[in-house]
Amino acid sequence: MLRGEIQPRRRLRRGGAGAEPPVSEPGRAVEPRRRPRHGGRGGAPVREGAGRGKAPQGHGTTVLCATFHRPDGTAPDPTAYTALLTALTPVVQALPPDTALADLTPALRYFARDAGHLAALLRVRALARYGADCTIGVAENPMLARMAARRAAPGRTLLVPADPDAVKEFLADQPATALDGIGPATARTLGTYGLGTVGRIAAAPLPALQRILGAKAGRDVYERAHGIDRTPVRPGATAPSLAAERPFDRDEIDPARHRRALLSLTEELGARLRDRGEACRTLSLTVRCADRTALTRTRTLAEPTAHSADLTATAYAVYGALGLQRARVRGISMRAEGLIPAERAAHQLSFDPGDEKSRRIEAVADRIRAKFGPDAIRRGTLAA
């Protein structure tokens, strides 16, 4: 190459070896502009620790379970307390008559508060708007949140940290029936093998549980005993059940008034089931006593039904099995569960003319209520 010939400038990568510094004025070099850290395409800087509370880090979920109750023992309208929760997060699942689940994972970052702050805010709003207090459980999945809410003191919040050791300690001394999917019969089966608590179930080998309960049921119980619940919070989902409640004006010890409340509950549930075109497989009865204890018993019906007489007979049998002797009862609630379409419910034909007559009278009463209102016709026992 001849001397004095101009060489073409090589294109060099910015900042690479041999690169020339950018020049803004003749003879004055300027430092390369640094690219600021940002959290998105807009280049806005990240704000760490915004707000007084810091949202928990990680990719886990945070689920809140709230049970609402008034001083007189009644529960507020389900639409009222679900509205309170939807003001915090759109992921809310109602569990009538008095409970709801909420996935707080998106709310923690949006409000820049931890779960304890949001639980306290929910309690204040429930008390201010509806005069209702709530018992709250917070955990990493719906099952643990429900268990925490059941174990929390009335009007308090119990948080279960998302730590394996903390979850293990929380579950260790709880009875087997505290786990989802374990009823009285399964608990008795596990108890014969010395597995009466969740801690002992968790310590048992998986093959042993599968031999006792079966392959699928054994695995499910094993996972739940270790605090694993794969069920998400289903927004907008309604529980497959209907519930009704009868509080007493004062602590009631008269069994006749208890049975009158049971009759009123079964009449209401039966009418609602028939109006919806559904039948229930299971009836659950809860008796709330004056010392704040609650006795709950569940009975599976011989066949799915919406017939009030069958529901009443089952409710009386469940109440009699409780063996209450001069118990001071504050309220009685009943839940019809396992709902199916009425056309899918099989009915065993009966040669009892009384049963057929009661069903015809029931159909006529339903038509009268539909035309003139729910109080147009009622039993004489309840009209007194």
Structure tokens at 339: 């709902």
**Matching CATH number, 59-162, of 3.30.420.40, 3.40.50.150, 1.20.150.20, 3.30.70.270:** 3.30.70.270
Query: Of all helices (H) and strands (E), which one includes residue 118?
Result: helix 115-130
Q: Contact 44/38 with Cβ under 8 angstroms?
A: yes
Sign of the Cα pseudo-torsion (181, 237, 164, 152, in order): negative
Going from the C-alpha of 262 to that of each of 35, 57, 244, 308, 331, the distances in angstroms are 72, 49, 10, 11, 11
- CATH no. of 241-383: 3.30.1490.100
Task: Write the pLDDT tens digit of every residue in 110-121.
Answer: 999 999 999 999
- pTM of the predicted protein model: 0.56
DSSP 316: H
pLDDT computed for residue 332 by the predictor:
92
Task: Write the pLDDT tens digit of every residue in 328-355.
Answer: 999 999 989 888 888 777 766 666 677 7
Going from the C-alpha of 149 to that of each of 118, 178, 206, the distances in angstroms are 15, 12, 28
Same fold? 59-162, 163-235:
no
Number of alpha carbons in the 13 Å side-chain half-sphere of residue 143: 20
Domain ranges of the chain: 59-162, 163-235, 241-383
pLDDT computed for residue 24 by the predictor:
41
**Matching CATH number, 163-235, of 1.10.287.130, 3.40.50.1110, 1.10.150.20, 1.20.200.10:** 1.10.150.20
CA 106 to chain centroid: 18
pLDDT computed for residue 240 by the predictor:
67
DSSP secondary structure string for all residues of 58-77: SS---EEEEEEE-TTSPPPP
Structure tokens at 224: 């739940």
pLDDT computed for residue 37 by the predictor:
44
pLDDT computed for residue 222 by the predictor:
95
Structure tokens at 170: 């929380």
Q: Contact 104/141 with Cβ under 8 angstroms?
A: no
Q: For residue 319, give the amino acid letter.
A: Y
Token pair 């108890």: residue:
191
pLDDT computed for residue 2 by the predictor:
44
Query: Which of the residues in the chain have pLDDT under 50?
Result: 1-9, 11-59
